[in-house]
Amino acid sequence: MLNQKLVVEPPATRNPLESFANESNESNSSEWFEEGNRLLNHREYEEAIMAFDNAGDIYMAAVATAYQSREVARDIPDSEKRRHREAFVNAARNFEHCAEMASAEEESAHYVAAARCYAEIKFHQDVLRAFELANMFTDAASYSFDHNLLDTAVSIIKKHEAEVDSQTTDCIKEVARLSYLESKQLE
């Protein structure tokens, strides 16, 4: 009699990279790169790092590492202040490292990601530095204004008035006039 099974058992769950690892001699870097991008897009950062490493793409491995470190930082409760702060600093530095390696068009996005990591822990000067490295002067001025750093906001719009959105500039100037009049610092 023929041995027929009515229930087909699914294969055991495996790491998505196992199939590539077992065929590593046959795989080429473009396949690893594609798999790394797929994993990165699915927020499977650790696996993406491995795939990019196997593809020999140092830059994309660094990008996946930066996203992974930001995800780790977000998972640390605010109550663990020191760990939380150190994790966001690490993530921000990883994004800055990516910016240093990136093409001109990607550089800005990495600096903005770094600025947002610093903003999570209120490292104001680092936020502003990262926004300025990204040439995001409106964001830098707005951040300063929103965090009661009026003198810094005014300094940014004076130095980069052509690059700061006119509505942001007008708002900061108006508040600065009122504030300086109150304290008799109007120039």
The three-state secondary structure class of 50 is: helix
Are residue 36 and residue 117 in the same domain, yes or no? yes
Are residue 148 and residue 114 in the same domain, yes or no? no
DSSP 10: P
* Residues 99/102/104/106 CA torsion (nearest 10 deg): -80
Expressed as residue numbers, the domain containing 178 is 137-187
Tally of structural domains, the chain: 2
CATH number, domain with residue 97? 1.25.40
Instruction: Grade residue 104 by pLDDT with cuts at 50, 70 and 90.
Output: confident
Are residue 94 and residue 105 in the same domain, yes or no? yes
d(Cα 54, Cα 70) in Å, to the nearest integer? 23
Q: Is the pLDDT higher at 134 or at 8?
A: 134
Are residue 37 and residue 100 in the same domain, yes or no? yes
Q: Given 118, 135, 152, which residue is the final one in a domain?
A: 135
Q: Mean pLDDT across the stretch 47-56?
A: 96
19: in domain = no
183: in domain = yes
Are residue 39 and residue 129 in the same domain, yes or no? yes
Are residue 147 and residue 66 in the same domain, yes or no? no
Are residue 182 and residue 123 in the same domain, yes or no? no
121: in domain = yes
d(Cα 100, Cα 54) in Å, to the nearest integer? 22
Q: Give the tens place of pLDDT for each residue, 156-176.
A: 999 998 999 999 999 999 999
d(Cα 31, Cα 17) in Å, to the nearest integer? 11
Q: Is residue 94 within 8 Å of residue 66, measured between CB atoms? A: yes
6: in domain = no
Least confident of 13-17, 88-92, 93-97, 115-119: 13-17
115: in domain = yes
186: in domain = yes
pLDDT at 24 over 80: no
pLDDT at 25 over 90: no
Are residue 130 and residue 157 in the same domain, yes or no? no
Are residue 125 and residue 70 in the same domain, yes or no? yes
Are residue 94 and residue 177 in the same domain, yes or no? no
Are residue 115 and residue 35 in the same domain, yes or no? yes
Residues near 160 by beta carbon (within 8 Å), at least 6 away in sequence: 137, 141
d(Cα 125, Cα 152) in Å, to the nearest integer? 10
**Residue 139 confidence (pLDDT):** 97
Nearest to 126 by CA among 95, 98, 167, 101: 95
d(Cα 77, Cα 101) in Å, to the nearest integer? 31
20: in domain = no
Query: Quick one: how many helices (H) and strands (E) in the chain?
Result: 10, 0
pTM: 0.80
Are residue 64 and residue 119 in the same domain, yes or no? yes
Q: Is residue 166 within 8 Å of residue 141, measured between CB atoms? A: no
Q: Is residue 62 within 8 Å of residue 47, measured between CB atoms? A: no
CA distances from 78 to 101, 118, 120, 135 (A): 31, 14, 10, 30
